[in-house]
Amino acid sequence: MSFLSGLFGGSPSEPQEPSASAELFGSTTFRSNVTPSSSDPSSSSTAQHSSAPTTPAPTALDTFGTAFDPARLHPLAGLGDKIDFLQLDEEKLNDIQGAASVLPSRGWTDDLCVGTGTTYLSGLVLGGTWGLKEGATRPLGNNPSFKLRLNSILNGCTRRGSFMGNSLGVLAIFYNLANSSFDAIRGKHDAANAMAAAALSGAIYKSTAGVRPALVGAGLMTAAAGSWSAFKNFV
């Protein structure tokens, strides 16, 4: 036995590490010194040694030379092909205190879009139901045809639905803008914030009708926001 076998532990049953990471890290440093030993004077020992199972483990060179494979690059973490979770930090989530919601939010634009979208869609559904009821019960003379009735229903839906959706959507834009501004100013999100934003948005929404309707609108919106906050706390 030469010094080579001493270096490798000498036993032919060299413990093959099952972990790919150990293989990757271990083989890179050792193999480069060992392989050119065919020109050694002690060729007999190398011939004896080559019978040992030294299958060429993947080295760093192999990793860089072949096509990009994230699973091979970082086998320790078991990433598979889900490597773009590493890039989550690009889009930081909203970490303002108390602003956690059903959907993760990435700041005020996300809040605005999702809030307005939800409100608009529910307004559309509500108004559509209203219009459906209206269109279905509108008197159309005696014995109206199906086509007339369908037209009446569709007219009702598109009329009431878009009215309700648009109104609620605009209200939601005001509310979300005010809410995000208050959040940013105060640095946290709570029920008082929501109620203040609701009061402001209700007042703006009804501002052209006069002072009294504006105050009424503000009061109604504040009550709605307060009960919504209480409901969220309760759940």
What is d(CA 165, CA 207) in angstroms, rounded to the nearest whole number? 19
Residue 21 and residue 116: Cα distance in Å, rounded? 49
95 binding other proteins? (CB under 8 A)? no
**What are residue 87's DSSP bridge partners?**
none
Q: Is 148 in the site for other proteins (CB under 8 A)?
A: no
Name the residue nearer to other proteins (CB basis): 167 or 229. 167
**Which listed residue (165, 178, 182, 197) binds other proteins by CB under 8 A?**
165
Torsion sign across C-alpha atoms 134, 140, 142, 146: negative
Q: Which is nearer to other proteins, 119 or 179 (CB)?
A: 119
Q: Which residue has the tokens 């929501």?
A: 194
For other proteins, the closer CB: 53 or 78:
78
Q: Closest approach of Cβ 226 to other proteins, in Å?
A: 23
Identity of the amino acid at 141 = G
How far apart are alpha carbons 157 and 97 in whole angstroms? Answer: 41
> Of 71 and 192, which has the nearer Cβ to other proteins?
71
Residue 169 CB: number of other CB atoms within 10 A?
21
Taking CB under 8 A as the binding criterion, the range among 7-15, 16-24, 104-112, 186-194 that sits at the site for other proteins is 104-112
Residue 205 C-alpha from the chain's centroid: 32
Q: Which residues bind other proteins (CB under 8 A)?
A: 60-61, 64, 81-84, 87-88, 90-91, 103-104, 106, 109-110, 112-121, 154, 162, 165-167, 169-170, 172-173, 208
